[in-house]
Amino acid sequence: MGSFLEMKKITKLFNENVVLKNVDFCADRSQVKALVGENGAGKTTLMKILAGLYKPDSGQIFINGKQAVINNPKQAQEMGISMIYQELRLFPDLNVVENIFIRREPIKNWSFVSFIDWNKAHKETQKLLDYFELNINPRRLVKTLSTGEQKFVEIIKALSQNANILIMDEPTSALTEKETDKLFKAVTDIKNLGVAVVYISHRLEEVKRIADVVTVIRDGELINSSDISEIDINKLVMAMAGKEIEDRYPKLKLKLGKEQFCVKQLSFAGRLKDINFNLRRGEIIGITGLSGSGRRTLAKVLCGLEGPFEGQIVINGKIFNSMNTHLAKLNGLCYVIGAGFDEGLISSMKTDENITLTNLKRISKMGFIDNTLESEAARDLIDRLEIAAEKDEIVANLSGGKQKKISFAKWLFTNAKILIIEEPTAGIDISSKVDIYNIINELLMSGASVIMISSDLSEVVGMSDKIIVMFNGEITGVFNKSEATHENILYYASGGKKPS
Amino acid sequence: MFAIERQNKIKEKLFREKRIDVVELSELFSVTEVTIRRDLDKLEQEGFLIKTYGGAVLSNAFVAKAFNFEPCDNSFDEKRLIGKIASQMLDNGEAIFLGSGSTCLEIARNIKDKKLTVVTNDLFIGYELRNITGIKVIVTGGDLIQATSTLVGAFTLQALNGIYINKAFIEVKGINFDSCYTVDSHDEAIVLLEVKKKSNELIIVADYTKFDRTAFVRLGDLTLAKKVISNKQVPSEYKKYFFEHAIKLYTTFEFE
Q: What is the DSSP string of A343-368?
A: SSS-TTSBHHHHHHGGGGGGGEETTE
**Cβ-Cβ contacts under 8 Å, A252 against chain B:** 85, 88-89, 250
A207 and A73 co-located in one domain: yes
- Tell me whether residue A330 is exposed, middle or buried, using C-beta atoms within 10 angstroms of its C-beta: 0 to 12, 13 to 18, 19 or more: exposed
- Mean pLDDT, residues A216-234 taken together: 84
Q: Is residue A249 part of a domain?
A: no
Residues forming CATH 1.10.10.10 domain(s) in chain B:
3-69
Q: Does B147 touch chain A (CB under 8 A)?
A: no
**Closest Cα in chain A, distance from residue B187 (Å):** 31
**How many A-B residue pairs are in contact by the CB < 8 A criterion?**
76
Q: Are B22 and B38 in contact (CB under 8 A)?
A: no
Segment 198-257 of chain A within 8 Å of chain B by CB: 245-254
Cα–Cα distance measured from residue A401 to residue A111, given in angstroms and rounded to the nearest whole number: 61
Q: Which residues of B touch A434 (CB under 8 A)?
A: 239-240, 242-243, 249, 251
**Least confident stretch, A98-107, A462-471, B246-255:** A98-107
Q: Given A196, A211, A241, which residue is the final one in a domain? A: A241
Asked whether the beta carbons of residue A430 and residue B249 sit closer than 8 angstroms, the reply is no
Assigned domain for A192 exists: yes
Q: Give chain A positions within 8 Å (CB) of B245.
A: 248
Identity of the residue in A252, A431, A432 whose CB atom sits nearest the CB atom of B89: A252
Indicate yes or no: CB of A248 within 8 angstroms of CB of B253. Answer: no
Name the pLDDT band for B69 (thresholds 50, 70, 90).
very low
The CA-to-CA distance between both ends of chain A, in Å, stands at 48
CA distance A9 to B248: 35
**In terms of residue numbers, what domain contains A143?**
5-241
Comparing A21-25, A383-387, A459-463, B131-135, the range with the smallest average pLDDT is A383-387
- Which one of A283, A419, A431 makes the best mutation probe of the B interface by having the most chain B beta carbons within 10 Å? A431
* Closest C-alpha among A3, A67, A75, A60 to residue A33: A3
Give the confidence band of B72 by pLDDT, cuts at 50, 70, 90. Answer: very low
If you average pLDDT over residues A324-345, what whole number do you get? Answer: 78
- The reply to whether A463 and A428 lie within a common domain is yes
Query: At residue B68, does pLDDT exceed 80?
Result: no
Between helix A400-412 and helix A371-384 the angle, nearest 10°, is 120
The pLDDT, as a whole number, for residue A319 is 94
Pairing of strands B135-139, B116-120: parallel
Residue A253 belongs to a domain: no
Q: What is the mean pLDDT of chain A?
A: 86
Does A254 fall in a domain? Answer: no
Residue A335 forms beta bridges with which residues? Answer: A420
Q: How close A432 gets to chain B, by Cα (Å)?
A: 8
Check: CB of residue A166 under 8 Å from CB of residue A189: no
pLDDT at residue A3, as a whole number = 84
Chain B residue at shortest CA distance from A432? B236
Q: Within chain B, which residue ranges are assigned CATH 3.40.50.1360?
A: 76-252
Asked if B249 has any chain A CB less than 8 Å from its own CB, the reply is yes
For residues A127 and A162, state if they share a domain. Answer: yes
Contacts of B1 in chain A (CB under 8 A): none
If asked whether residues A223 and A126 sit together in one domain, one would say yes
Per-residue pLDDT tens digits for A96-152? 888 888 877 888 877 778 888 888 888 888 888 888 788 888 888 888 887 778 888
Which one of B85, B232, B249 has the shortest CB-CB distance to A252?
A: B85
B89 has a chain A CB within 8 A of its CB: yes
| Structure confidence at residue A348 as a pLDDT band (50, 70, 90) | confident
In a shared domain, residues A328 and A450: yes
Residues A366 and A263 in one domain: yes
Task: Say whether both A165 and A302 belong to one domain.
Answer: no
Q: What average pLDDT does the segment B152-170 reach? A: 95
Q: Which chain B residues are Cβ-neighbours of A431 within 8 angstroms?
A: 236-237, 239-240, 243
Whether chain A has a CB inside 8 Å of the CB on B92: the answer is no
The H-or-E segment that residue B27 falls in is helix B22-29
- Average pLDDT over every residue of B224-253: 92
Q: Is B251 within 8 Å of A253 when comparing Cβ atoms?
A: no
The helix-helix angle for A430-445 and A400-412 (nearest 10°) equals 10
Q: Residue B89: what residue type?
A: M
- Nearest residue of chain A to residue B237 (CA atoms): A431
- Are A22 and A133 in the same domain? yes
Same domain, A284 and A140: no
Closest of A44, A394, A85, A447 to residue A261, by C-alpha: A447
Q: What share of chain B is helix, strand, coil (3-state, %, to 5)?
A: 40, 25, 35
Question: What topology is assigned to B3-69 in CATH?
Answer: Arc Repressor Mutant, subunit A (1.10.10)
Does A326 fall in a domain? yes
Q: For residue A315, give how far its alpha carbon lies from the nearest alpha carbon of chain B (Å).
A: 22
Q: What is the CATH number of the domain that holds A113?
A: 3.40.50.300
Which residues in B lie closer than 8 A to residue A412 (C-beta atoms)? 255
Sheet (strand A466-471) strand order: A333-336, A418-422, A449-453, A284-289, A466-471, A474-480
Q: Which of A384, A430, A442 sits opposite B239 (nearest CB)?
A: A430
Same domain, A77 and A113: yes
Number of structural domains (chain A) is: 2
Nearest to B244 among A251, A430, A446 (CB): A430
Q: State the pLDDT at residue B160.
A: 94
Pick from A241, A267, A295: which residue ends a domain? Answer: A241
Predicted local distance difference test score (pLDDT) of residue A411: 83
- Find residues 372-411 of chain A whose CB sits inside 8 Å of chain B: 384-386
pLDDT in tens, A289-311: 887 788 888 998 998 988 899 99
**Three-state SS for B16?**
helix
Contact A247 B246 (CB under 8 A): yes
In a domain, A111, yes or no: yes
Task: State the nearest Cα–Cα gap between B224 and chain A, in angstroms.
Answer: 15
Q: Please tell me which residue, B115 or A103, carries the higher pLDDT value.
A: B115
pLDDT of A53 higher than 50:
yes
pLDDT digits (tens, 9 = 90+) for A140-192: 888 888 777 888 888 888 888 888 899 998 887 767 777 888 888 888 988 88
Q: What is the ipTM for the molecules in this complex?
A: 0.72
Contact flag B232-A251 (C-beta cutoff 8 Å): no
> Do residue A236 and residue A369 come from a single domain?
no
The reply to whether B255 touches chain A by the CB within 8 Å rule is yes
Mean pLDDT within B122-146:
93
Q: Which of A159-163, A198-202, B220-224 has the highest mean pLDDT?
A: B220-224
Looking at residue B76, its pLDDT comes to 81
Q: How many angstroms separate the CA of residue B68 from the nearest CA in chain A? A: 30
Quick one: three-class SS letters along chain A? CCCCEEEEEEEEEECCEEEEEEEEEEECCCEEEEEECCCCCCHHHHHHHHCCCCCCCEEEEEECCEEECCCCHHHHHHCCEEEECCCCCCCCCCEHHHHHCCCCCCEEEECCEEEECHHHHHHHHHHHHHHCCCCCCCCCEHHHCCHHHHHHHHHHHHHHCCCCEEEEECCCCCCCHHHHHHHHHHHHHHHHCCCEEEEECCCHHHHHHHCCEEEEEECCEEEEEEEHHHCCHHHHHHHHHCCCCCCCCCCCCCCCCCEEEEEEEEEECCCEEEEEEEEECCCEEEEEECCCCCHHHHHHHHCCCCCCCEEEEEECCEEECCCCHHHHHHCCEEEECCCCCCCCCCCCCEHHHHHHHHHHHHHEECCEECHHHHHHHHHHHHHHCCCCCCCCCEHHHCCHHHHHHHHHHHHHCCCCCEEEEECCCCCCCHHHHHHHHHHHHHHHHCCCEEEEECCCHHHHHHHCCEEEEEECCEEEEEEECCCCCHHHHHHHHCCCCCCC
Range B76-252 has CATH code 3.90.1580.10: no
Confidence of residue A375 (pLDDT cuts 50, 70, 90): confident
3-state secondary structure of B120: strand
> Does A296 lie in the same domain as A160?
no
The answer to whether B223 faces chain A, any CB pair under 8 Å, is: no
- Whether the CB-CB separation of B127 and B65 falls below 8 Å is answered with yes
Contact between chains at B88 and A252 (C-beta distance less than 8 A): yes
**pLDDT surpassing 90 at residue B49:** no
CA distance A473 to B125: 54
% helix, strand, coil for chain A, step of 5: 35, 30, 35
Q: Which of A60-69, A336-345, B132-141 has the lowest mean pLDDT?
A: A336-345
Instruction: Please tell me which residue, A52 or B46, carries the higher pLDDT value.
Output: A52
